[in-house]
């Protein structure tokens, strides 16, 4: 139904790319509160509830709905609350910056100032998460070591599924996700359980698995540097605004933002830089 020839898609994308963003809802009446520029998507129909939001992406991919426009994505009901942006602002940003494979907006931009990448952040918030991810990658035959992954600065950092991609991105992203999901299904019970155990310290009683999968976007951008991603550009004051809900984060952004930005512009991370990131993370733990 949604198939196009490659040449037709290329012509459409170059002239005026179409953008279609779905927004999940999970209860009766919630669809009436969604962003008017997004397409309501009934998340109650997710057959893979133990995979949480990942199941919705798998369903969209397998049905071919991701090809219903040049760029498609699925966001949560809290998109506006978390990002402070409307659907129209996000779509205008995409259309004003043609030529990328995926566009994204990170609700937690301050996190790049106290953690080196998404897996260091994962271990900070959920101890042992990096080891679980590393084991899953290894068992899936993916020769990419998350324990020694490079830097996620603002150009590749995302902790949610607030992205809109073309077919090339969808294929790469879903290949990674499905390969890991298929591997999970083959694990013996004693190994598999660790991914579905509820973290008693997390207020929403969420197992480890969603926290692994929400970090795959930023991981893929480093695994596949040929994929062109573009982050929504927050203004300077918005970084401080995002950090203001936590005293340690606000102090870190206030004291170290310019220094970290300069290191990231240089793009080379020596022992002194890594020591700085470690010291800043200890401040965040305090």
Looking at residue 10, its pLDDT comes to 46
Label residue 200 by pLDDT band (50, 70, 90).
low
Looking at residue 201, its pLDDT comes to 62
Angle, alpha carbons 32-94-212 (nearest 5°): 75
- At CB < 8 A and 24+ separation, what contacts does 204-211 make? 206/52, 208/126, 208/128, 208/129, 208/132, 209/51, 209/52, 209/184, 210/52, 210/53, 210/54, 211/122, 211/125, 211/126, 211/129
Compute the average pLDDT of residues 149-170.
96
Per-residue exposure over 86-123, b if at least 16 CB sit within 10 Å of its own CB, e if not: ebeebbebbeeeeebbbbbbbbbbbbbbbbbbbbbbbb
Label residue 1 by pLDDT band (50, 70, 90).
very low
Compute the average pLDDT of residues 49-74.
89
The two three-digit tokens of residue 90, written as one number: 């996000």
The two three-digit tokens of residue 81, written as one number: 């609350």
Looking at residue 102, its pLDDT comes to 98
Burial of 124 (0-12, 13-18, 19+ CB in 10 A): middle
pLDDT at 129 over 60: yes
Mean pLDDT, all residues of the chain: 90
Angle, alpha carbons 149-152-154 (nearest 5°): 175
Looking at residue 204, its pLDDT comes to 59
Beta-carbon-side half-sphere exposure of residue 258 (alpha carbons within 13 Å): 2
More confident call, 12 vs 25: 25
pLDDT at 28 over 90: no
Q: Which of 84, 90, 85, 86 is nearest to 72 (CA)?
A: 90
Compute the average pLDDT of residues 66-75.
97
pLDDT at 27 over 70: yes
Compute the average pLDDT of residues 238-266.
97
Looking at residue 32, its pLDDT comes to 87
Percent above pLDDT 90 for the chain: 76
pLDDT at 278 over 50: yes
pLDDT at 248 over 50: yes
Compute the average pLDDT of residues 233-248.
96
pLDDT at 203 over 60: no
pLDDT at 236 over 90: yes
Looking at residue 11, its pLDDT comes to 40
pLDDT at 3 over 60: no
pLDDT at 9 over 70: no
Label residue 255 by pLDDT band (50, 70, 90).
very high
CA distances (Å), origin 122, targets 105, 111, 128, 129, 209: 19, 11, 8, 6, 11
- Residue pair 238/84 in contact (Cβ under 8 Å)? The answer is yes
Kindly report, residue by residue over 90-124, the tens digit of the pLDDT: 999 999 999 999 999 999 999 999 999 999 999 99
Beta-carbon-side half-sphere exposure of residue 13 (alpha carbons within 13 Å): 24
pLDDT at 202 over 60: no
Phi, psi of 196 (to 5 degrees): -115, 0
């Amino acid at each position: 139904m949604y198939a196009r020839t490659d040449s037709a898609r290329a012509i459409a994308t170059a002239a005026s790319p179409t953008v279609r963003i779905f927004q999940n809802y999970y209860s009766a009446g919630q669809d009436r509160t969604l962003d008017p520029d997004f397409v309501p998507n009934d998340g109650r129909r997710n057959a893979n509830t133990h995979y949480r939001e990942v199941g919705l992406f798998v369903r969209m991919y397998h049905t071919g709905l991701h090809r219903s426009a040049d760029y498609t994505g699925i966001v949560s009901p809290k998109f506006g609350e978390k990002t402070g942006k409307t659907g129209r602002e996000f779509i205008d940003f995409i259309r004003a910056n043609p030529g990328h494979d995926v566009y994204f907006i990170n609700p937690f931009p301050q996190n790049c100032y106290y953690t080196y990448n998404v897996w260091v952040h994962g271990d900070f918030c959920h101890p042992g998460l990096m080891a679980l991810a590393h084991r899953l990658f290894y068992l899936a035959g993916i020769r990419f070591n998350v324990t020694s992954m490079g830097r996620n600065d603002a150009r590749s950092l995302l902790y949610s599924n607030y992205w809109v991609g073309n077919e090339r991105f969808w294929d790469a992203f879903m290949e990674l996700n499905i390969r890991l999901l298929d591997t999970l299904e083959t694990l013996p019970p004693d190994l598999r359980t660790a991914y579905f155990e509820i973290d008693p310290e997390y207020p929403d009683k969420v197992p480890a698995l969603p926290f692994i999968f929400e970090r795959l976007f930023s991981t893929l951008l480093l695994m596949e540097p040929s994929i062109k991603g573009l982050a929504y550009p927050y203004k300077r004051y918005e970084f401080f605004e995002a950090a203001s809900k936590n005293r340690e984060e606000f102090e870190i952004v206030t004291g170290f933002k310019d220094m970290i930005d300069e290191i990231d512009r240089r793009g080379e991370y020596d022992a002194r830089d890594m020591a700085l990131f470690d010291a800043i993370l200890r401040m965040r733990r305090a």
